[in-house]
Each structure stands twice: as C-alpha cells, then as structure tokens.
Amino acid sequence: MQKTSYPGLAPPIARGYGGIGRRVLVFLGLLVLLALGLVLGVGQGAVPIAPGEVVRALLGLSENPIITELRLPRALAAVLVGAVLGISGAAFQGLFRNPLADPYLMGSAAGAAFGVTLAVSLTGGLSSAFAQHAVFTHLPASATLFGFLGALGAVALALLLSGGASRTGDLILAGVIVGSVLVSLTSYLMLQDADRVRAVFAYTLGNLAFVGWNGVGSLALFLLFTFPLLLLLGRTLNALYLGEETARSLGLPLEGLKLLIIVVVTLLIAAAVAQAGIIGFVGLMAPHILRRLLGGDYHYLLPASALGGAVLLLLADLLARTLVAPAELPVGILTTLLGGPFFLYLLWRGRRVA
C-alpha cells in the first residue's frame, strides 16, 4: 500500500500525539516564542535597546524612532511573511500530499522575481540611492505591484497549461516548467542592466529590509481577508490524506476546493514575495516541525504553522541582521543555509532509524 508521506521523514512517535493538553501547550509555547522573538528582534541591532525599553515602546509608553521607524515594521514584516509561508506550506503539503511541497512550488516565486525585475528594467525605477543602499530604501510601488502580478500570472499560466487543478501531478510539472522559463527570462533581464542587478538580486534572495510600514500595512490588510479562508480548509486537507478519490466519495466538491486552495495560497504568497522576495525553507520547516509536535490534523496544523513560520522568520531575520553586523545578510540566504542541513539531518536520521 502506498504511503502518503516521505518514509524517511515519518514521525518517530509510535503512539498518538496526546490530547488537548499537548496542543494547548504547543500553541502557548508558540505564542511565548513569538512575543520573545518580537522583543528580541526589536531590541537587537546596530544600536541595542534594552528589553524593558522595547516593551515600553511596543506598549506606546515611550517614543523611540529606531523602534517605530526601522525595527518594528521589519519585525512585523517578518511575522506576517513568516505566517504566510508557514500556513501556505502546510496547505500545499496537504494539497499535494507531499511533506516536501514548498509554497513556491507552482512558480509563484519565479513569477514574482520576474515581475520585479521587469518593473525595474522598464521604469528604471530604482533610484541610485536604492541601488547603493538597498537596505535602507523601500521597493518602489510599481515593483511590488509587478511582483504580485508576476506571481499570480505564473500560477495562472501553470493552471492553464495543466488544464485546471484536477490533475495534481500535471500541475506540479507545469509549475516547474513555468518557473524555469521565468528564471531564465529574469536572468536575461538582469544581464541587460548590470548596475541594477545587485539591488534586484538582493531582493530576490529574500530581504525584509524593503518592506516598511506601507508594506506591513498592505500585507496585514490583505491577510485579513485571505488568511481565514485557509483556516477553514482543515477538514478538506485532512480528507485529502485518504487520497483524492476517497475525499470526493466523502462528498467534498474537490475540484472547486483544490482550486480555492491554490488561489488563496497564490494570493498570499504573491503578496509576501512581492514585499520580501523569496525566502526559502520556512514554508517547509514550520509545518514539518509542528507536524511532529501536534500530529497531522490540519485544524491545528494550519494555525500552528502560521505561528511557527512567524517565529522562525523573526529569529532568522534577527540572525541575518546581527551575524555580520554592521552589514547584514539577505534573510533568504540564511533560511536556506539553516534549512538545508535541517532536512539533511532529518533524512539522515530517518535512514538510520530505518
């Protein structure tokens, strides 16, 4: 009989995941980590700020421009983008019935990168200041919009090529093809204008420095409407564990639901990737870790993955800003550097157990 998840990554626990107590504990732990991560993330940097001062500023009891103008929007961007990556990863893993499915799987990342690069090369929209001090300047609105549309367009194209959402295997293949073509087009555009390449490149590597309050605001507003839709799909994703045919036999209108999942995830990912670039492995790691702690029930896994993704990206961005201070790393490089070995370790341990 065929298993629905990768054998090397099977949970080592023979018994179930305990009852409600364990779940409450995991969620409480995530919230505590999130609060700690926020205080730490806002406090650490070129100018360290004491935790007490951070908490006072966060509560609005004192004014600190470093916090309100720089660190807080960046930390909130990490929370929002991380949450999007976590929940999208969980949803795609359920939809594609593969624990290694990535939220960018259907070409959205390549589409966003292409859109941003195209916008920059069309408008010459990067001021010289942006090119030189990319870290302190926000991405122009046109680039964000193009990134968003690029991600949507790539997934729409993949859907079109695979003839809708009914055949999941075709969908993945179409996404990979569209992604590859867009990556080469992006590279071509970059070669045309070497001066701007660095800034665009820094963006595609994943960087929360570009987001700013406007980005945080629009992202938050956007999430408000799309996020709850995913939280409602717990039963659908659970039923998909049994295979698509069985899920349909249970009465689920699967064609529509699969399309809904793809559309919502694509909207979320497009919004996130347009603001912060491509940040790898968070969407893989957060659901994976939480699946081990909570079990596979998507009613809990979806919200927990959102919280877990937020915590992971918050901490990763903290490291990205402080490891090589006063310079900083694109957070996408860091998550990939940390995520790669994490999965190698899981593979290695799975093999040893087997």
Is 133 or 167 the residue whose CB approaches another protein more closely? Answer: 167
Determine, following the binding rule CB under 8 A, whether residue 3 of this chain makes contact with another protein: yes
The answer to whether the Cα torsion of 139, 145, 146, 149 is positive or negative is: positive
Determine, following the binding rule CB under 8 A, whether residue 10 of this chain makes contact with another protein: yes
Determine, following the binding rule CB under 8 A, whether residue 91 of this chain makes contact with another protein: no
| Nearest-approach distance from CB 42 to another protein, in angstroms | 35
Determine, following the binding rule CB under 8 A, whether residue 4 of this chain makes contact with another protein: yes
Which of 243, 324, 340, 351 touches another protein (CB under 8 A)? 243
Residue 94 region by backbone torsions, left for phi larger than 0, else alpha for psi between -120 and 50, else beta: alpha
71 neighbors 45 (Cβ within 8 angstroms): yes
- Residues between 277 and 296 with contacts to another protein, criterion CB under 8 A: 291, 295-296
Q: How far apart are CA 281 and CA 213, in angstroms?
A: 25
123 neighbors 142 (Cβ within 8 angstroms): yes
Nearest CA among 264, 267, 268, 309 for reference residue 288: 309
Determine, following the binding rule CB under 8 A, whether residue 303 of this chain makes contact with another protein: no
- Residues between 256 and 275 with contacts to another protein, criterion CB under 8 A: 257
Stretch that binds another protein, among 3-11, 68-76, 186-194, 305-313 (CB under 8 A): 3-11
Provide the mask over 203-242, with x wherever binding to another protein is found by CB under 8 A and - wherever it is not.
-----------------------------xx-xx-xx-xx
* Residue 79, CA distances (Å) to 85, 137, 265, 315, 349 in order: 10, 20, 17, 10, 30
186 neighbors 110 (Cβ within 8 angstroms): yes
* Residue 354, CA distances (Å) to 319, 343, 350, 351 in order: 35, 16, 6, 5
For 339, residues 6+ apart whose C-beta sits below 8 A from its C-beta are: 280, 281, 282, 284, 285
User: What is the secondary structure of 240-262 as a DSSP string?
Assistant: HTT-HHHHHHTT--HHHHHHHHH
Which of 5, 98, 142, 168 touches another protein (CB under 8 A)? 5
| Nearest-approach distance from CB 233 to another protein, in angstroms | 8
Burial class of 219 by CB neighbour count within 10 A (0 to 12, 13 to 18, 19+): buried
Is 256 or 341 the residue whose CB approaches another protein more closely? Answer: 256
Is 5 or 137 the residue whose CB approaches another protein more closely? Answer: 5
Determine, following the binding rule CB under 8 A, whether residue 29 of this chain makes contact with another protein: no
Stretch that binds another protein, among 30-38, 105-113, 249-257, 309-317 (CB under 8 A): 249-257
Is 21 or 60 the residue whose CB approaches another protein more closely? Answer: 21
Determine, following the binding rule CB under 8 A, whether residue 250 of this chain makes contact with another protein: yes
Is 211 or 240 the residue whose CB approaches another protein more closely? Answer: 240
What does the block give as tokens for 347? Answer: 């593979």
Q: Which residues bind another protein (CB under 8 A)?
A: 1-5, 10-11, 13-17, 97, 232-233, 235-236, 238-239, 241-243, 245-246, 248-253, 257, 291, 295-297
